[in-house]
Amino acid sequence: MLICHENRGLTPHIQDVARRFAKAGYAALALDLLSREGGTASLDRDAVPGALTKAGAQRHVSDFAAAFDYLNSQDFVDSGRIAMTGYCFGGGITWQAATELSGLKATSAFYGPAPDLAKVAAIKPAVLGVYAELDERITGALPAFRDALADTDVRHELKVYPGVDHAFHNDIGERYKEAQANVAWNHTLDWFGRYV
């Protein structure tokens, strides 16, 4: 399982998500996409989003391509059975990776911006989108994204969770909603159980 963090970098929440996947039986790898800059912990908290933006989405997807190859080469990993998940900014990177890393079996993007619709036809893994009803900035783009996915053979589901806002899964954030976060987590585990 490849895990992409939010725009706050590799935080305790994302480290805990990796722990949860490990407890569920996955080899889990949460990258720090700011390793070249010294790592998330070495930067001022307010500088992290800008550093991620400056590095660019293509560098981040390339880092996950390298992580994919690394996991796939490990004796304790079932070759060819790699999935990816991401949150917020990381959900957007997960969507980008789904259009470029054809070896992924499945992805689950939590409230991540959709990829360029012209690239949707390149998606190969089974893709799950986890969205929040109150997150109009991100969720508002779903109708066009749904239409683009419907024009492909991609196994997909875009799920909008009622009554919650962006980052509802982050249990150390202000918008955390335990009940819906648990439903989304179980839905994600079920998705990966079916397609990985």
Contact 71, 2 (CB under 8 A): yes
- Which pLDDT score, from 0 to 100, does residue 152 have? 97
Per-residue tens of pLDDT for the chain, all 196 residues: 999 999 999 999 999 999 999 999 999 999 999 999 999 999 999 999 999 999 999 999 999 999 999 999 999 999 899 999 999 999 999 999 999 998 999 999 999 999 999 999 999 999 999 999 999 999 999 999 999 999 999 999 999 999 999 999 999 999 999 999 999 999 999 999 999 9
pTM for this model (two decimals): 0.97
Whether 32 sits among the annotated catalytic residues: the reply is: no
> Pick the catalytic residue: 13, 60, 166, 169?
166
- Which pLDDT score, from 0 to 100, does residue 3 have? 98
Whether 166 sits among the annotated catalytic residues: the reply is: yes
CATH (domain of 155) = 3.40.50.1820
Strand partners, 85: 3, 108
Q: Which domain holds residue 82?
A: 2-195
> Pick the catalytic residue: 5, 88, 156, 169?
88
- Which pLDDT score, from 0 to 100, does residue 75 have? 95
Spatial separation of the C-alpha atoms in residues 105 and 193, rounded to whole Å: 11
Number of domains into which the chain is organized: 1
Whether 135 sits among the annotated catalytic residues: the reply is: yes
- Which pLDDT score, from 0 to 100, does residue 79 have? 87
> Pick the catalytic residue: 135, 147, 151, 190?
135
